[in-house]
Amino acid sequence: MADNAYARAGVDIEAADRAVDLMKEWVAKSRRPEVLGGLGGFAGLFDASALKKYERPLLATSTDGVGTKVDIARKMDKHDTIGFDLVGMVVDDLVVCGAEPLFMTDYIATGKVVPERIAAIVKGIAEACTEAGCALVGGETAEHPGLLAPDEYDVAGATTGVVDAHRLLGAEKVEQGDIVIAMKASGLHSNGYSLARHVFFTELGWELDRRVDELGSTLGEELLVPTKIYAKACLALADATGTHAMAHITGGGLANNLARVMPAHLSATLDRASWTPQPIFDVVRTAGGVDQASLEATLNCGVGMVSLTPAADVDAAIATLAEHGVEAWVAGEVVAGDGSVTLVGQHPGW
């Protein structure tokens, strides 16, 4: 009787149960040996005795969402890639300090639980967790009728990792002469979509199915390109080199995020001529009339992650990243300064 009343209020418990059944296969594929129990418990369990191998284990945690990119997924009715954006946002924030991601939980709020749609979202999250090397140990799906339209949803997640204290990366290790190694982004990733949506939909009046020659795809296909996940590559980089710090390039752009790991007595100068951003950035700039300063303060402009690595380790660093499927190049150098990051020159073709 209570279930029927709840259904009349707009909450479908049976649909939620079906969604859990559909997602179990994908969650199982992200499992690590330290995970205890299965999906459906009140809490995810992770065997912390695995931390005994660390001399002084430091737990690291990160939480985030994917912003207005979910609106693109909803309008495209394609939901199995947004999970890569979620995992990329939280896992790669954590990796910059040298921490290995261990496990993750997710939260999905929706106006109406459509089991196949929820399962597709979780499929993407689980596949991305596998790519990052962490386990998806649990989550929550909440139906919010009246607050969200039936086809609307939002996703958020949190991850926990570990790093030995003596291997912690950060600004305090950065030295003058360190080289800034840039790692190629897959596209816009999951930041700056409010700007992109304003340019394309409000100012230009473009539709998602519009073919854009410069992109070689439709606008919707480009805007839904998943976030690149750097976790395993960056951990391998930290193992193979004396890298001092890393920065995940998200909201705020390249200079602002790199400045977060720059000591007050040092600065970094990056040369735009060392890379050409993907066409989507130039399309936003030219078609939308967005000045370069605003573009660089909002979007990653083709660089999804950077490391600050001793000059002697640059070749090994770039080779290690390439082995893990990450294209990287020398973009600049750390010099004496005031904690600032400056971009000079111009991208080829801009």
Query: Taking a C-beta distance cutoff of 8 angstroms, is the pair 261, 173 a contact?
Result: no
- Return the beta strands (E) in the chain as ranges: 35-36, 45-46, 57-65, 100-110, 135-143, 153-164, 179-184, 211-212, 217-218, 245-248, 266-271, 303-309, 328-336, 341-344
Q: Strand 57-65 relative to strand 153-164: parallel, antiparallel, unpaired?
A: antiparallel
pLDDT for the residue 46? 73
pLDDT for the residue 1? 43
pLDDT for the residue 24? 56
pLDDT for the residue 28? 54
**Residue 247 has which token pair?**
């920065």
Hey, is 140 helix, strand or coil?
Answer: strand
Taking CA atoms, 236 is separated from 40, 131, 288, 295, 324, in Å, by: 34, 14, 39, 31, 8
CA distance 267 to 259: 8
**Number of residues assigned to the chain:** 350
pLDDT for the residue 48? 85
Q: What is the DSSP letter of 213?
A: T
As beta bridge partners, residue 303 has 184
pLDDT in tens, the chain (350 residues): 445 655 555 555 565 555 555 555 555 555 666 666 665 566 677 778 888 999 999 999 999 999 999 999 999 999 999 999 999 999 999 999 999 999 999 999 999 999 899 999 999 999 999 999 999 988 889 999 999 999 999 999 999 999 999 999 999 999 999 999 999 999 999 999 999 999 999 999 999 999 999 999 999 999 999 999 999 999 999 999 999 999 999 999 999 999 999 999 999 999 999 999 999 999 999 999 999 999 999 999 999 999 999 999 999 999 999 999 999 999 999 999 999 999 999 999 99
pTM (two decimals) = 0.90
Among 261, 252, 244, 243, smallest CA distance to 339 is for: 261
